Amino acid sequence: MMIKKLAAEFVGTLWLVLGVYGSGVLAAAFPDADIGLLGVSMAFGLTVFTMAYAVGHISGAGILYVIASGKAGFSTAGFAANGFGNG
């Protein structure tokens, strides 16, 4: 199971780097393409959305757990839940 989570993190990070930095590099390197700030912003939003949808169920709440568990009175009841469905 740990390998699956590590692979999900790797693929998600790779996708984010390619999508966001790739669009920024292309915007700077090819001024005729001129995707501009809106294009880079859309690339960022779409890459985060697609990876959250694709691998969000495998990985993603671990860092939040480590941060939140340091707070006094922390409980895992409803942790990382959006409030919809039976959870």
pTM of the model: 0.55
The residues near 10 (Cβ < 8 Å, ≥ 6 apart) are: none
Residue with the larger pLDDT of the pair 74 and 49: 49
Task: Give me the mean pLDDT over the 47-64 stretch.
Answer: 75
Q: What is the pLDDT of residue 87?
A: 47
Q: Parse the chain into domains and list their residue ranges.
A: 2-68
Cβ–Cβ under 8 Å, residues 35 and 23: yes
- Rounded Cα distance between 27 and 60, Å, is 29
85 compared with 65, residue with greater pLDDT: 65
